[in-house]
Amino acid sequence: MLQWLSEISWVAVGQIIMIDILLGGDNAVVIALACRNLPPEQRLRGIALGTAGAIVLRVILVLFAVALLKIPFLKLVGGLLLIWIGIKLLIPEDEGEEGVASPGHLWGAVRTVIVADLVMSVDNVIAIAGAAEQAAGHHQTGLVIFGLLVSIPIIVFGSQLVLKLMDRFPVVILLGAGLLGWIAGSLILGDPAVQRWTGSMPPSAAYVAGAVGAVLVVALGRWLGARKARAQVGV
């Protein structure tokens, strides 16, 4: 046991924990956005199911992450999908009688969490796998799994905190949707096919792409949300 502990790269362990803290916030935001319209008694269940599904997909991604990043148009499609999810999360949900959420709403939220997390997790998984490479070969798989396990409480508790902030400060909803747009813009610009078309870009281009994505999601989401609200009241 002591020999096993002495062989572990504690630098890699520390890096993995920091990666989870820094990058897990994005996932917590999308879970909070997707679950904010659930009844209070279903929120924790939605967070748990969404997180469980996302972690399973991350384990699968570990096997293919490096190869996936090199596939042209994959990040482009993922970025566009993330823009659509961000816009959709700003549009008010339809409710049943007496304002009770429909039975399928929980699974709709879980599905949204899993799809968005799948798009957002590739870079996260790559970062964890890269940190694990510093360890001995027979420890690398264990460190990657450790990184995924560490991300679970960060995402679960982080999303509950964001949910409470959204309930108290509605502007956090807009900020969360804007964050999804920012990530989407950065993903699209980082696609190999897009980079071949744009050529060499200055580092500031990533910030511009992120800002454009954030503005696009918030503007379209608010416009479509207002349009739907007017239609519901017959204006």
User: Could you report the per-residue pLDDT of 112-151, keeping only the tens digit for each?
Assistant: 888 877 777 666 666 566 555 555 555 556 666 776 777 7
**From CA 17, how far away is CA 19, in angstroms rounded?**
5
Burial of 82 (0-12, 13-18, 19+ CB in 10 A): buried
Of 106, 90, 126, 132, give the one whose Cα is nearest residue 53.
106
Report the number of distinct structural domains present in the chain.
1
pLDDT digits (tens, 9 = 90+) for 51-74: 888 778 777 776 676 566 667 887
Contact 39, 98 (CB under 8 A): no
Q: Give dist(CA 66, CA 123) in Å, integer.
A: 9
How does pLDDT run across 170-211, given as a tens digit for each residue? 888 888 888 888 888 888 888 888 888 877 778 788 889 989
Q: Which domain holds residue 154?
A: 2-232
SS3 per residue for 155-195: HHHHHHHHHHHHHHCCHHHHHHHHHHHHHHHHHHHCCHHHH
Taking alpha carbons only, the member of 199, 145, 115, 173 closest to residue 12 is 145
Q: How sure is the predictor about 11, in pLDDT bands with cuts at 50, 70 and 90?
A: low
d(CA 208, CA 169): 27
- Cα separation values, 77 from 9, 81, 192, 194, Å: 36, 6, 12, 11
pTM: 0.69
How many residues would you count in the chain? Answer: 235
Give the alpha-carbon dihedral of 151, 210, 165, 84, to 10 degrees: -90
